[in-house]
Amino acid sequence: MSLQQAKILERSNALRRRIDAWIEIQHLYMPQLASIHAAADQEGGGKPLAVHDIELNLPSRIHSVVHCDILFLQYEWELRYAQAHSTLNDLRSLLLMESMMFKSKTRDSRGQRQQTRSINLLKRVRTRIEATATKYRQIRISLQSLAGPLHHFKWSDVLRVLEDDDMATLTSLDNDTGEGQKKLRWIWTVEGTGANADQSTQLGLLFPKPSANIDVNIDIISPLALRVEWCKACARAHRWQEECKGTFPSPSLSPPQPPFTTRNFRRTSVHHSLL
């Protein structure tokens, strides 16, 4: 047995002991689960399950079958809600990392060897992005299950359904889309995003030195990138407002524009001002 296999086995055994302790606590507060676990053991023929296949039977999964105290549902709600925001933060950081790596690849990678290495690194980051998105979707399913019994209804306006199109980086890092067509996705407008931007700016970390740990750089750059995004969105809104003012009739200037052009400029300027 190799050292890596020994470490995996040791960690699996430690995790199994913690799960067994969790099941004992569940039987104490929810005795109905004892019969469910016994039936599952009989169906499996008495063979122990792999540690990653053991069902934890959290309240969000069993509250429709087994009676659960409302406090247990509330505790899991608070856990899942915090997990959802933390997962979105990880997703935003990974999207920024991918954008920066794309720019670095375009600017610095030369030759087949460097290109192949860059592509492999980008594939690894994309795998992490997809795994994080899957994690968020699973957490949201748990929140949906808990929202009914707890009578929470406004949470879905904040933690929305994550579509594939929503996993896009900041518009300030998108050089392929025209200025008039850029749209900021909802994951970047969640409350609390970029909360430590002031602290990072005061520390003089606008252009941090490269670090061997790219996650450290992303934690620093993420709130500052949002500040740059806001500045560019504000500049776009002001530009559309100027265009809107220029479409009003003026006897000393060019002929007036059609009314629909003015309405279009006004609608666009309001949209950008809300970003």
Rounded to the nearest integer, the mean pLDDT of the chain is: 76
Do 109 and 134 belong to one domain? yes
**Average pLDDT score over residue span 44-58:** 78
In a domain, residue 90? The reply is yes
pLDDT tens column, 96-108: 888 888 877 777 7
**Average pLDDT score over residue span 10-20:** 92
- What is the extent of the structural domain holding 15? 1-57
Do 95 and 42 belong to one domain? no
In a domain, residue 181? The reply is no
* Banded model confidence at residue 261, pLDDT cuts 50, 70, 90: low
Alpha helices in the chain (DSSP H): 3-29, 32-43, 59-62, 70-108, 111-150, 197-202, 214-245, 259-273
Do 6 and 98 belong to one domain? no
Do 51 and 72 belong to one domain? no
Domain end among 143, 176, 209: 176
pLDDT, residue 237, reads 72
Most trustworthy range by pLDDT among 85-99, 122-136, 208-222, 259-273: 122-136
pLDDT tens column, 62-98: 888 888 889 999 999 999 999 999 999 889 888 888 8
**Average pLDDT score over residue span 128-145:** 94
Enter the pTM of the model: 0.71
In the numeric block, the tokens 């309240």 are attached to 59
pLDDT tens column, 187-217: 888 876 655 555 444 444 444 444 434 444 4
Q: How many domains does the chain have?
A: 3
pLDDT, residue 107, reads 77
d(CA 269, CA 201): 29
Do 49 and 1 belong to one domain? yes
d(CA 141, CA 123): 27
Do 25 and 46 belong to one domain? yes
SS3 57: coil
Do 29 and 78 belong to one domain? no
In a domain, residue 251? The reply is yes
Do 211 and 124 belong to one domain? no
In a domain, residue 6? The reply is yes
d(CA 138, CA 134): 6
In a domain, residue 187? The reply is no
d(CA 69, CA 63): 9
d(CA 99, CA 56): 37
102: nearest Cα among 127, 123, 132, 128: 123
Do 132 and 86 belong to one domain? yes
d(CA 66, CA 64): 6
The lowest-confidence range among 24-38, 191-205, 259-273 is: 191-205
Do 120 and 141 belong to one domain? yes
In a domain, residue 10? The reply is yes
The lowest-confidence range among 47-61, 67-81, 114-128, 201-215 is: 201-215
More confident position, 230 or 124: 124
The lowest-confidence range among 53-62, 96-105, 239-248 is: 239-248
Domain end among 29, 57, 85: 57
Do 91 and 166 belong to one domain? yes
d(CA 137, CA 163): 10
Q: Does the structure show a pLDDT above 90 at 235?
A: no
The lowest-confidence range among 97-106, 165-174, 188-197, 235-244 is: 188-197
Token pair recorded at residue 237: 């809104």
In a domain, residue 215? The reply is yes
In a domain, residue 184? The reply is no
Do 41 and 140 belong to one domain? no
Do residues 54 and 19 lie in contact, with contact meaning Cβ atoms separated by under 8 Å?
A: yes
220: nearest Cα among 199, 239, 237, 238: 199
* Banded model confidence at residue 169, pLDDT cuts 50, 70, 90: confident
Alpha-carbon distances, residue 143 vs 30, 153, 214 (angstroms): 21, 10, 32
